[in-house]
Structure 1
Amino acid sequence: MASKVVHAIYNDDDILMQAVKQTRAERYHIEEVYTPFPVHGLDKIMGLEPTRLAITAFMYGLVGLSVAVTMMNFIMIEDWPQDIGGKPSFSYIENMPAFVPIMFELTVFFAAHLMVITFYMRSKLWPFKKAENPDIRTTDDHFLMAVDGGNHDLEKLSKFLYDTGALEISIVESEDDH
């Protein structure tokens, strides 16, 4: 089912921030804001929940540390113990100080690589995915706020957005993907 979305174009990030505050105060639903650079504080003003990616990074680091400990114990202690520099490999704990760099590197390796994969999956950035940017100017010097038209009077909404400082307003049909 198609619905109407109102696109408001702004040319300044401070005006955009004020417009987002006013739009939320009027209880309009902001679907997305497209910016040419990160606008600090925009996520809080839009009412977005904080990211949980840091928690996943910690869990991925623990996975990397577990893999490192398991791998080194198997390779250096159980499968092929060697007497290196007069230090026999009787137990993992005795040799752990030598394994610390490997444990650190695999912790960072797993956390970094799995975080990139998680970010792409969470952002739905698949290989060869078509860009979803509604206006090419948002990659250069303009800002776009997409507001759900829903059951609202579109003329009243358009006038409201012009009053917030929008340079231009366009109403587009949007396919619901819910």
Structure 2
Amino acid sequence: MASKVIQALYNDDDVLMHAVKKVRAEHHHIEEVYTPFPVHGLDKAMGLADTRIAITSFLYGCLGLTVAVVMMNYIMIEDWPQDIGGKPSFSYLENMPAFVPIMFELTVFFAAHLMVITFYLRSRMWPFKKAENPDKRTTDDHFLMEIGLHDNENELADLLWETGAVEVKVTEKES
């Protein structure tokens, strides 16, 4: 289903921030903003909710810690116990101080790798996916704000020109 959107192009991130705040103050819904680099505070200005990726990172770290504990208990205590450096090998708790570095490393490994995979899947960015940016200039030096239209094209275009847009156009967007 295609819907009409209006796209405003800006050439300065400060002008873009001012425009986003003004458009939000006029109670228009900003669909997306495309920028060539991260703009500090843009997510707050757009009214986006905080990300929950930190929660998933914690859960992935817990998973890594669990895998490390189970793996070391099986390998070093049950399957093939070895006397390394005079340490007793018949109890996990007696050997735990030696296992702390492995537990830490696997916690960080699982959290980092699974968090990156989650981010890419959540952002729908996978290998060989065609780029979705509507204007190639947004990868170089321009900023694009995309707003959904609801029979208010002229009013919205005037507002965007007031905010300092260098180009305003109406296009069809596939959803």
TM-score (norm 1): 0.96
- Quick one: percent identity of the two aligned structures? 73
Q: Kindly report the root-mean-square deviation, in angstroms, between the aligned alpha carbons of the 2 structures.
A: 0.9
Deviation at 1:85, TM superposition (A): 2.4
1:28 aligns with 28
2:171 is the counterpart of 1:172: yes
Report the number of matched residues. 175
Deviation at 1:2, TM superposition (A): 1.8
The 4+ residue runs of structure 1 with deviation greater than 6 A are: none
Matches within 5 A, 1:110-125: 110-125=110-125
Do the aligned residues in 1 keep the contact of 2:76 with 2:82 (CA within 8 Å)? yes
Matching residue's letter, 2:77:
I
Do the aligned residues in 1 keep the contact of 2:88 with 2:94 (CA within 8 Å)? no
Matches within 5 A, 1:132-171: 132-149=132-149, 151-171=150-170
Do the aligned residues in 1 keep the contact of 2:9 with 2:143 (CA within 8 Å)? yes
Matching residue's letter, 2:92:
Y
- 1:123-157 CA-to-partner distances (Å, cap 9, x unmatched) read 001211000011111111110000111x2321121
Aligned counterparts of 1:16 and 1:10: Cα–Cα separation in 2: 6
Aligned counterparts of 1:12 and 1:102: Cα–Cα separation in 2: 48
Matching residue's letter, 2:21:
K
Do the aligned residues in 1 keep the contact of 2:12 with 2:142 (CA within 8 Å)? yes
> For structure 1, which runs of at least 5 residues remain unmatched after alignment?
none
1:64 aligns with 64
Aligned counterparts of 2:59 and 2:20: Cα–Cα separation in 1: 35
Deviation at 1:47, TM superposition (A): 0.3
TM-score (norm 2): 0.97
Aligned counterparts of 1:153 and 1:120: Cα–Cα separation in 2: 35
